[in-house]
Structure 1
Amino acid sequence: MRFATYELDGSVHAGVVSDDGLHTLPSGTTVLDLVRAGLPAALTAGSAALTGPPTPLDLARLLPPLTPPTIRDFVAFEEHVEGVVASVSGGSGVPAEWYEAPTFYFTNPYALIGAHDDVPVPPGSRLLDFELEVAAVVGRDGSSLTPAQASDAIFGYTVFNDWSARDLQRREMKVGLGPAKGKDSATTLGPWLVTADELAPFHDEDGFLALDMRVSVNGVEVGHDLLSNMGWPFAELVSYASRGTWVRAGDVLGSGTCGNGGCLAELWGRRGEQDPPALRPGDVVEMTVEGIGTIRNRVVPGIELPPVRAARSRTRAR
């Protein structure tokens, strides 16, 4: 089943997506409410909503499917790391530490945008990039989950585009902490949340989801990979995120960017030049993930702000 959040005639609704359109859930119900209620209860509520009249998709504005409490973004594709290390950090190869355990950072839940919303260029950036990912949504609270428990705790999946200001990211990563403002401006989540049962047939024998992933810029395909090329399946990512702490229902966990052109920076690192060029206002980025759907965003000019003030020097006098 596919659950969506959308705006229609100035009001926000949650609904179920069918081939006929959007079927509204009871007033006041959110997709996060359904996630917290658990998958069986959500499927029951969705089946009831499907009996109602549909709203054509082209009449509504799709919003991020849910408002998550937290967003963790992993870096689970080896091929992506190899290319981006050269482009962003100026190094070569994959760090040995990458293979030891999954790595993630927390990103900004207030920066989420819908499947077809415009994306402003972040203030001060001249190197805007996309990142083709899939995100899992946690369906129940848990702490120090085993991979098997974590697999059972996944409610569903959605497409995730971690828009990245590479010039800002390069500077801040040299400090040894981050990313921060390089990843802070926009994240596309959508077009809807597909429940885990619907994607079960795509699991391979090792627990990975073998989903085709593609991204194009202005109609020209730039990247193409399989989600099953992740170094760890989502069950292990959720398990690791819960290690010694908690994950909560509604938490979003990104796979990290796929390889083979899942972002421009990977290609820049491999080719030694900015080919294709950084995104500019007017560019349209489209991502499609098999079994989930398509998101499509247009880059627009951002706001101009004064330069950030540099740190003052100190005498260290006490």
Structure 2
Amino acid sequence: MRLATFRHDGRVRTGVVDGDQVRPFAGDPTMLEIISAGVPAALEGALPLADVRLLAPLQPTTLRDFVAFEEHVEGVRRSIDGSGGVPDAWYDAPTFYFTNPNRIYGPDDEVPFPAHSVNRDFELEVAAVAGPDGAIFGYTILNDWSARDLQKREMQVNLGPAKGKDFASSLGPWIVTADELERFKDSDGFLDLWCDVTVNGVEVGRDLLSNMGWTFETMIAYAGRDSRIVPGDVLGSGTVGNGGCLAELWGRNGRQDPPPLRDGDEVTLTVEGIGSLTNRIISGSKTETLPQARRRDPASARAERQH
């Protein structure tokens, strides 16, 4: 079942996508209500998909993003900090970071990058949507947009990507319920789905989702350890390898080939069994330069204050 959030005649609604039509749910439940309480049985008359505006399928309660592909780690490390290989710690557990659940874009939305960022990048991912009791409710496509120049500078402080990431993530075009994708699972429980990305119609990367190091079930179990997973939490697979982002290719090629994204570029992520998610790149509003941190001798300040 493909579950969408959409706008029609000024109303935001949810419904079931079937071919080139969508059947709205009676009573207009939100996607989070559907994920938490179950898919309603009551449907209304079908609407042509061409007559509705698809939105991001849900507003996540949280958005965790993992890094589950060795090939991606190796290539991006070369691009971001000049080191090679995969850290030994990567093999210990499925590492993730939290990104911003309040800057979510949907299908065909324009995505504003920080105006002063020049190394703009996409990230091709699949995301699991958590349901009750930490079970997987369904899957959607995730584009974890990245300002690599900001990311490279900030991560020298040994914290997460921060402003290199939190300006935008895209989800869509809908949520495919977990039962629909069971037929794609291999004998080890990995989803064997082709994932590819094009920029302005030209293919840049293509990989199998089953090249992940951990299953989504393992990643959810790890995320919930000593913590809590609630319905509506979104957990990204991390970027696929073999060109799932530009930075991986920059690291492997030793130069920015293909070039960074520019205003007007159109990026399309396509995942077998789910669909396609397209966005166009623009620049956000210009921001003022912040003052640098005050340099201060803490010991001298404390000594002076005691007198």
TM-score by length of 1: 0.92
Matched, 1:96 2:92: no
Note the alpha carbon deviations across 1:143-198, whole angstroms, 9 max, x for none: xxxxxxxxxx1100000000000000001111001110100111110000000000
Who is 1:147 aligned against? none
Q: Following the alignment from structure 1 to structure 2, what is the Cα–Cα distance between the partners of residues 225 and 4?
A: 26
Choose the corresponding residue for 2:104, options 109, 112, 137. 112
Matched, 1:279 2:273: no
Q: Following the alignment from structure 1 to structure 2, what is the Cα–Cα distance between the partners of residues 20 and 313?
A: 61
Q: Following the alignment from structure 1 to structure 2, what is the Cα–Cα distance between the partners of residues 8 and 308?
A: 42
The alignment partner of 1:110 has SS state of coil
**How much is the aligned-residue C-alpha RMSD, in angstroms?**
1.1
Offset at 1:209?
0.1
Contact map agreement 2:81 2:152 (CA 8 A) in 1: yes
Q: Following the alignment from structure 1 to structure 2, what is the Cα–Cα distance between the partners of residues 96 and 308?
A: 37
Q: Following the alignment from structure 1 to structure 2, what is the Cα–Cα distance between the partners of residues 301 and 60?
A: 27
Extract unaligned runs of 5+ from structure 1: 143-152
Who is 1:25 aligned against? 25
Offset at 1:64?
1.1
Contact map agreement 1:20 1:54 (CA 8 A) in 2: no
Choose the corresponding residue for 1:235, options 207, 211, 217. 217
Choose the corresponding residue for 2:237, options 250, 255, 259. 255
Matched, 1:86 2:78: yes
**Which letter does structure 1 place at the counterpart of 2:15?**
G
Please list, as runs of the form range in 1=range in 2, the aligned pairs for 1:176-187 lying within 5 A after superposition: 176-187=158-169
Who is 1:73 aligned against? 65
Matched, 1:16 2:16: yes
Q: Following the alignment from structure 1 to structure 2, what is the Cα–Cα distance between the partners of residues 268 and 30?
A: 41
Who is 1:148 aligned against? none
User: Runs of at least 4 residues of structure 1 off by over 2 A?
Assistant: none
The alignment partner of 1:174 has SS state of helix
Residues matched between the structures, number: 300
Q: Identify which range, 248-257 or 62-71, moves more after superposition.
A: 62-71
Who is 2:154 aligned against? 172
Q: Following the alignment from structure 2 to structure 1, what is the Cα–Cα distance between the partners of residues 214 and 83?
A: 24
**Which letter does structure 2 place at the counterpart of 1:184?**
D
Matched, 1:217 2:199: yes
Who is 2:42 aligned against? 48
Contact map agreement 2:26 2:42 (CA 8 A) in 1: no
Contact map agreement 2:103 2:166 (CA 8 A) in 1: yes
Q: Following the alignment from structure 2 to structure 1, what is the Cα–Cα distance between the partners of residues 291 and 122?
A: 28
Q: Following the alignment from structure 1 to structure 2, what is the Cα–Cα distance between the partners of residues 88 and 58?
A: 41
